[in-house]
Structure 1
């Protein structure tokens, strides 16, 4: 059974596949060919319109010419518990681990939870910028950065100050901590708010909004989080 869907989010943060365009790991997998040993894996690719698709079967001829990105192992059920893929499979983790862990400790959060968010948001790509302007490692919006005292500053490369990995980790983690407090420690509601905005969660009675993109985002982060706790 094919499992294809569109990925984006309500506040303009990119999906994992979108931000990984610059980290094409398997560019030689063109034209719908997959080794038989990978037939049961889940894959992501970005089509010509910039839409991210995910599937668990080889692509049809209609996708010929599409560049495949990273392999994402499927979640498996072990003793009744959903065990997801490890967020540590993505390149760049070793470079940002210290920033994510330090930011988590500073906000009294579980480092694994913060790492899972960063994995879902950018796959640890510190240069990721969404089409709507979400920035860096944890894909923070400029307005969110300014809320926590980080405004844009001129630089030789023209980057926003929030693109610096350590600063980005701090901003995203502070926002995540505030959302957890707002929603009484409920991780899934905090994730939904991180993705779609706190207003959307409140609008729908402090529940995950009925947006497929947001629901998929929450599920993805929680799979990564459970994978890190194994």
Structure 2
């Protein structure tokens, strides 16, 4: 594992993407920054992090086993690797809020941003951005955010967390390369926040409806059992799960 340590950068994902365009990167090359001035979340959202207190990093993975149609498995693998790591450190009540926010005690502690490098309809590489709230304790205007320090009372070594996460990324990617897609999907679905519980959702038009999360399809769409006993699938940003 090759680690590139940065003091301040606009975005570790952008940094690795540019680096990968100029040279061949070692598998699981990591860029970690003490501070990201333009950290990004899903679909253009912004990830704000207090300088030096959190894990803000990106991991480059050369891809050899996932097609464009199956690219959501990369998100599943990443979610599983992070949760497996946090379980080692006794972080309580972990779950995945679809598609890939990591929760503890129903509070968001980690966001994931997956960006694929695609050439000739093949995924040539993947850049996995991870923003994990570690030792930050104040989250202004973010009532549903928390950190490992707030949840456990423990001060964490950020780089130790990184090493463990990459170890678990390697483990789950190996399972993917072995063709154990069902194993990964079942493990991911078992961790879905509010799975099989009555939940309220809001669609893109602002309408509220009730349903039960069942799982995801191989493309990552959320499968919800509706009141008329029909399972409907929703893509990212088509619906919002209300707490």
TM-score, normalized by the shorter chain, greater than 0.5? no
Tell me: higher relative CO, structure 1 or 2? Use CA pairs within 8 A at least 6 residues apart. Answer: 1
What is the TM-score when the length of structure 1 is the normalising length? 0.30
Write 1 or 2 for the structure with the bigger share of strand: 2
More helix by share: 1
Q: TM-score, normalised by structure 2?
A: 0.29
